[in-house]
Structure 1
Amino acid sequence: MNKINMKIFVRRIFFHILSRFVLGVTIFSIVLMVIGYLVDDVIKSFANYEVFKFMDYNKSILFPVIWLLGCFTILVWHWIKTIKYIAIVAEASNSLINSDEEIIHFPLILKEMEDQMNNLRVHVLRKEQIAKEAEQRKNDLVIYLAHDLKTPLTSVIGYLTLLRDEQQISDELKERYVSISLEKAERLEDLINEFFEITRFSLSNLTLELSSVNLTRMLEQIAYEFRPMLAPKNLKCDLKAPSDVMIKCDVKKMERVFDNLMRNAINYSFEDSSITITLSQDESGVKLKFSNYGNTIPEEKLQRIFEQFYRLDTARTSKTGGAGLGLAIAKEIVQLHKGTITAFSKSDVIEFEVFIPVGL
């Protein structure tokens, strides 16, 4: 609830209680006047009795005192009711802290606050659930990675042992053993890097070091550097960009965004297809699109694709077995630049769109 709404809400509660108090006093005053009129006749009828004589003599003081006591009683009653409202809200706040899943119910006058606190409760519970799921995925990934480290390490040790112990080994077999050892060692390096990636993401707070950069040249360089990774699937990278587009950004971190998007596009592209990078610019900022042809991502997965440790493929393979942090880190970096990153997928086309505003 923002400040303006809170002021309106408090003012509404105040006038509600004030109107009830005024109404109560008015009704009490009318009733007291009627009772006073009736009692006055009774007093006159029994004026010979001392009690009624006393009441008749002091009625000018007695009835105002009764009226004041009645008004005070009505005021205290409404004051207690206000305190009860505060107690109800405080108790509901405890349910938010304790993650109570029960729906909050307030009196009708507090309906607006009831709705907002229930919305907040749902939001808090959702955040907690996301955090638990992310932590569980992280723990699972650490377990999987620790297990996966054994396989390439065992292979490297095995083949190097063969190279050391085998005296009569052909050059062809030696080359094959070295090639396999190198492949397994590279896989081992990837797994270790994933461990470091998890640690860096968990412990570091990203900050920006802004500078001007030629975005067109940066994209050209990235497209060129990824050529070796395109070859195994026979992929092509097509860059469509105006010349010399300048932006202000953290160059290293933005390179990491584009690197993660390119790796993602390569991992989930069909063989013999193409990856297209499109750059456009207007007065509000620059827009980049990374498009590739691959299996359509279901909507429910598309909504979670930027979550920490979330992976599209649950099976861990050497081709796509990342830690599930690349897109989460990319989103955080883009948001630090006050930009947006969104994902689309339809008809076997996957597209990531990044917008970076001007005036950082």
Structure 2
Amino acid sequence: MKSVKALLPKSIKIKWKLTFWAALLILFLFLSYTFVQYVVIMKWVNNHERQTIQKNMEEIYAYLLEADSEQEILESKAYIDILNEHHQLIRIVSENNSVLFTITNKVPKNWVSSQSALKEELVEMSPKGDRLLVYRKPFEVTGFKGTIEIVRNLENFESLINQITTLVIITGLVAIILSFVGGRILSFQLLKPINSMIRTMKSIKENGLNKRVNIDKQHDEMTELGIMFNELMDNLETSFQQQQQFVEDASHELKTPLTIIHGHLSLINRWGKDNPQTLERSLNLSLNETNRLIRMVSELLTLSRGDFSTSTAVLEDIKIKGVVEDVVENFLTLNPDYNISSSIDISKDFTLKIFKNHLEQIIIILLDNAIKYSKNKKEIELKVKHSENSLAIEIKDYGVGIPEEDLPLVINRFYRVDKARSRKNGGNGLGLAIAKRLLEYYKGSIEIQSVYGEWTKVIINIPLRKDSDVLFRKK
């Protein structure tokens, strides 16, 4: 036999599945309640009929026991007639099965044959199709020995049961309709947030990513689903905008060196081959642009991968002070006209679990930016200190500074406050984005403070405590 689930089409919508199962549950509960009620009523009515016939028997038996002869028993007929009820027969049968007298109310005498009983008995029978309850009880008085026989027609009982059965059938049919309507309403209410989400998705497909699901005031699982969907769409929209901006910026940045290289190669092809000076100059400029392209592609790959393919590598304890001093020394060698003052407020044994090349690259990016944008006042300050929870590195220059409205944007890829000046300085606008990506790997942060035209300070913080699968330690 197939299950109910197997009977449902596989392609049926969830709203109809929910309607079906909700209606089935409501109908099952209703029918179960009705069945229990039906059984209880039947049992109660049956017990009531038995109690009524037993009560009648007790009254008649008690009255007949006071008789002193058969004649007094015959004289009790009038009293017994008063005790008799509708659809009931009372008969006194002698020991030899002869009937002393019969009192009946809508119960034919021939439905049940008279007989003397040796012991008390209460039985049900259906001689003519009607249900009868027969109660016999022997008794004995002076001069007479016989049986009291009461026959009760359960017509009223049958009529009540038939009415209840009819009512059950009618209410069952009504219950089927109401359960379907109730199931539909229930499914509509439960699926209302999902339907809203589906409409929102269709709108997003047609009009873009700016549409969101309306969140109800009530807080339940569907509300949480809607909130999560909106957050997901916010992240998706942000990622899409960043990707679109990245493609536009990358296209713009790559177009300039490629155009320059193409122009010089065209110049060489036209008449530069016969002019050594033009040939040499065009080749040098083309090589410079090619090197810039290589650096840019390398930086883009760094941002794409984060150079974190070594996530399974074991991090070693790196002595921070030595790494910082080496980077500062290298910059002083390459830029002797700059004054780079360093204040490294950590011991030589202070260690941090970090990839050495990552730390070097972060410091190099920050120092390189400081040098590029502080041509007028060639003074740079570097401070390294630690608290109980983090290591902080500050680099401050006294260069052109950053306008306040540009501070939140300078970490974005390819973003430059002065594009012409930055290009002239050789920057691609990717350094801070790479530094931020590297810091995110170690749960670190980067903060930029600046007064336009006066100074710029970059502060990075790297946690010292255990976080995720990256371990930090302080000696």
1:66-121 CA distance string (max 9 Å, x none): 55534524532333313454333334345456644345346766666555544543
Structure 2 residue corresponding to 1:323, chosen from 428, 432, 437: 428
Structure 2 residue corresponding to 1:60, chosen from 153, 164, 186: 164
Change over 3 Å in CA distance of 1:298–1:144 after alignment to 2: same
Aligned alpha-carbon RMSD (Å): 4.0
Higher relative contact order (CA 8 A, sep 6+): 1
- Matched residue, 1:126: 238
Aligned residues: 295
- Matched residue, 1:88: 196
State how far apart, in whole Å, the 1-side matches of 2:291 and 2:388 are.
41
1:199-218 CA distance string (max 9 Å, x none): 52365452245222221121
State how far apart, in whole Å, the 1-side matches of 2:441 and 2:365 are.
16
Larger displacement relative to structure 2 (100-109 or 86-95)? 100-109
State how far apart, in whole Å, the 1-side matches of 2:338 and 2:283 are.
24
Structure 1 residue corresponding to 2:458, chosen from 341, 346, 352: 352
The structure whose residues are more often helix, as a share, is 1
What are the ranges of 5 or more consecutive residues in structure 2 without an aligned counterpart? 1-21, 31-158
2:460 alignment partner AA: V
Change over 3 Å in CA distance of 1:100–1:259 after alignment to 2: closer
State how far apart, in whole Å, the 1-side matches of 2:197 and 2:162 are.
47
- Matched residue, 2:405: 300
Change over 3 Å in CA distance of 1:319–1:218 after alignment to 2: farther
Change over 3 Å in CA distance of 1:182–1:273 after alignment to 2: farther
**Identity over the aligned pairs, expressed in percent?**
20
Quote the offset at 1:260 in angstroms.
0.8
2:243 alignment partner AA: A
State how far apart, in whole Å, the 1-side matches of 2:340 and 2:444 are.
25
Q: Over alpha carbons, which structure has the higher Rg?
A: 2
Change over 3 Å in CA distance of 1:309–1:214 after alignment to 2: same
The answer to whether the 8 Å contact 2:443/2:462 transfers is: yes
The structure whose residues are more often strand, as a share, is 2
State how far apart, in whole Å, the 2-side matches of 1:356 and 1:138 are.
30
1:329 alignment partner AA: I
Quote the offset at 1:188 in angstroms.
4.2
Change over 3 Å in CA distance of 1:308–1:77 after alignment to 2: same
1:185-238 CA distance string (max 9 Å, x none): 88446424334324523654522452222211211111121125534xx43101
- Matched residue, 1:246: 351
1:197 matched to 2:298? The reply is yes
- Matched residue, 2:307: 206
1:278-315 CA distance string (max 9 Å, x none): 10023323111111112332333221222222223222
Structure 2 residue corresponding to 1:281, chosen from 365, 374, 386: 386
The answer to whether the 8 Å contact 2:385/2:391 transfers is: yes
Change over 3 Å in CA distance of 1:338–1:199 after alignment to 2: closer
State how far apart, in whole Å, the 2-side matches of 1:266 and 1:59 are.
100
- Matched residue, 1:37: none
User: Which portions of structure 1, spanning 4 or more consecutive aligned residues, are displaced by more than 6 angstroms?
Assistant: 151-155, 157-160, 180-183
1:257 matched to 2:362? The reply is yes
The answer to whether the 8 Å contact 2:318/2:354 transfers is: yes
1:236 matched to 2:339? The reply is yes
Change over 3 Å in CA distance of 1:62–1:266 after alignment to 2: farther
Larger displacement relative to structure 2 (202-211 or 287-296)? 202-211
Quote the offset at 1:132 in angstroms.
0.3
State how far apart, in whole Å, the 2-side matches of 1:161 and 1:262 are.
41
The answer to whether the 8 Å contact 2:306/2:434 transfers is: no
- Matched residue, 1:39: none
1:305-351 CA distance string (max 9 Å, x none): 22222223222655433222111111111111222222222362211
Alignment TM-score, normalising by the size of structure 2: 0.52
